[in-house]
Each structure stands twice: as C-alpha cells, then as structure tokens.
Amino acid sequence: MKNTINYSKPQISTHLLSMLLIFVLSFFTFSCSTEEVVSLDDTSQAFSIVEVLKNYESSTISTASKSKDKKEKKPTFKTLSVALAKTNLAGTVSSNQLTVFAPTDAAFAKYGLDQKNIGSFPGIKDILLYHAVAGKVFSTDLSNGFVPTLNGAAVEVKMDDSGVMINSSNVIIANIEARNGVIHAVDDILFPPTQNLVALASSNPQFSVLLAAATKAELAGVLMGDGPYEQLTVFAPTNQAFIDFLGVSTVDEAIEVVNSLTKEDLAPILLYHVVEGRVYSSDLSSGPVTTLNGDFDLNMDTLKINDSAMLDVNLLNIQATNGVIHVIKAVLVP
C-alpha cells in the first residue's frame, strides 16, 4: 500500500480541519479495479439507499471484468437492512445524501450476526454510523487517506492495483447507485474506536509516564473529552522519550520526577503536544502546526518536529472516540 502521508499539500490550520476533511472528498482520485465495478440499471437510482439494500437479492449478474462472460453472485444485505431498522437509522439513511460502506450478510456472519440477533449487538448504532460518509463518494472520488464518517471517527482508504480497502475490509462491489447516494459493498464490518484518548493511552504501557504527567497537570479530564475541546490530536511521547528528557534510567524514576513537579511546570509542556481537532497524517505537511500552547515546526521530509522529535511512522493515526494519537520519540519543549 501507498503511504498515507501527503508530502505536497500546504500545512493546514486546525480550525480549518473539519471543512477541509469534507472538501477533500470531492478531489479524491482513486479508480477501483475492474473486478469491483458493477454494471447497474438506471432504475436503481429511483430507490433510496435503504430500498436498494433491502432488495439487493441474491442472483447472478454480469460484472465488468476481463471476461465479459464472467458471472458472479450478488451479495445480500438483509442483516444490514434489519440493523438500520432496529436502530431507527433507516430514515436517516433514506433521506440524506450519503455514501455507505455496506457489509454483506456474509461479513456479519463472520461474527455470528444475522437478522435475528443484530439488534442486540453492543454498540451497533455507532458501528452503523461508522459505515456512512456524508455526500455521494464514487470510487473515482477516493484516494489514500482518511474520510470522516457520521460516527465522528474516520475510515482509512487504502488502495493499490489489487483493489480498495476500507480499514481492513475489501471493497467487493463499488458504485451501487441509489436515489440519495452510493453503496460500496465490503466483506467485513468496520469497527469504530471505543476508547477515549486517556483510556486508549492507558491500554498501552508505553504511555504510563505521559498519563502520570497529564494527571499531575490536571489535563486528564480534557483528554477524556470533559473539557472545551470535542476532538484533539495528541503527539504522544513514549516512556523512553520521557526517560531521555528527564535524564533518568527507569519508568518509575521518570514518574517520580513527574510527580515532584507542579501543574504549572507540566501543563505548558503537555499542551504543546496537543492540537485541536482530528488531524491525520494525510492532513499534515511541512510547516508550523498550531498546538494548544503555540506552534511547533513539522518537517515531513525527515518526519521530525522542531528537529528534535521523530514521528514514529509505524504508530500514526491511532484513533480514539475523541481524537487521534501520533507517537513521537522525544518530548517537545515549547
């Protein structure tokens, strides 16, 4: 897969992020492989997304492929249709311009889910919202990067010559048109993040010093979503980054030093690692990045911040319910 980091576009300001994430949908430039594009009757556009899903019966259809005579069996979406009805989302999906990444019945069956039990599956409404994107987004409008969903979190679009992936699921049929949108069939369920930033960091032992510092600085509540910011992006130093910064040898020693400091000592440093809004790696480019305590300088060619901290390219875009974490290998000093 291609790298999701965009090296060419200008650095964005975080207060423009929400507008740009929506605006960028119209400029995505991906084309699906021929095996994934279905020839559709114009009559499908007379029906809503919900109606198309409900009536997309199992039958053989001709698909645009290398062999014109190739026949494939249509998937069905009966479990998804029941889930939309059970969660009272059918009206929303019928009346708004949307793009739906639609798990097939076979995708739900992987998790033992069907029409009988889907309504009682924990968090099903949030899961369904994570499969819907505002506006009509055809396969030709997609490119590598992150697309915000109605859930609030984003799905990652990844593609190469073999096809399209949404997170870890494959698009098996693209561009099923409806009156009020587009459906892309996927072969797995997309699961949204379920933990806030603090809970997510707590589940990773590499962030114990950072959490101790956030607690001592009385910022844990803000990072949990209790403060004035609905969404935040955290450039998170690891335990080793704090050990190097504080000149100690162990995690316990680093936490001891952190606990000896005051809120006034720690808060300015921690806020220098936090950006308002959801900022994914595909939204970053070289230049100043505005944090909650001034700007730091980002160099996407070297993946360095202020020529001191290195972004961990393998640990970017870790999503929480209220934001995103990018792991960095040094503590930033404002």
Of the two residues 12 and 94, the one the predictor is more confident about is: 94
Instruction: Tell me what percent of the residues of the chain surpass a pLDDT of 90.
Output: 75
Range with the poorest average pLDDT among 30-44, 83-97, 229-243, 271-285: 30-44
**Looking at residues 207-231, what average pLDDT do you find?**
93
Q: Of 45, 127, 137, give the one whose Cα is nearest residue 87.
A: 127
Which uninterrupted H or E stretch holds 181?
A: strand 181-186
Model pLDDT, residue 13: 42
Question: Does residue 73 contact residue 60 with C-beta atoms inside 8 Å?
Answer: yes
Phi and psi, residue 187, nearest 5° = -100, 10
Model pLDDT, residue 45: 66
**Looking at residues 185-199, what average pLDDT do you find?**
97
Model pLDDT, residue 67: 37
Of the two residues 190 and 3, the one the predictor is more confident about is: 190
- Residue 54 carries which side chain, given as an amino acid letter? K
Instruction: Assign 161 a pLDDT band (cuts: 50, 70, 90).
Output: confident
Model pLDDT, residue 226: 86
The whole-chain average pLDDT of the chain stands at: 85
Instruction: Assign 46 a pLDDT band (cuts: 50, 70, 90).
Output: confident
Q: How far apart are CA 143 and CA 135, in angstroms?
A: 16
Domains located in the chain, CATH noted? 31-186 (2.30.180.10), 197-328 (2.30.180.10)
Instruction: Assign 160 a pLDDT band (cuts: 50, 70, 90).
Output: confident
Q: How far apart are CA 137 and CA 146, in angstroms?
A: 13
pLDDT higher than threshold 90 for residue 204: yes
Q: Of 296, 306, 294, 318, give the one whose Cα is nearest residue 238.
A: 318
pLDDT higher than threshold 70 for residue 65: no
Per-residue burial over 280-317, b = 16 or more CB atoms within 10 Å of its CB, e = otherwise: bbbbbbbeebebbbeebebebeebbbeeebebeeebbb
Instruction: Tell me what percent of the residues of the chain surpass a pLDDT of 70.
Output: 82
Tell me the whole-structure pTM to 2 decimals: 0.79
Question: Does residue 77 contact residue 105 with C-beta atoms inside 8 Å?
Answer: yes
**Looking at residues 201-225, what average pLDDT do you find?**
95
Of the two residues 74 and 173, the one the predictor is more confident about is: 173
pLDDT higher than threshold 90 for residue 14: no
Model pLDDT, residue 33: 41
pLDDT higher than threshold 70 for residue 2: no
pLDDT higher than threshold 90 for residue 92: yes
Model pLDDT, residue 71: 52
**Looking at residues 105-123, what average pLDDT do you find?**
97
Q: Of 18, 282, 274, 49, give the one whose Cα is nearest residue 152.
A: 18
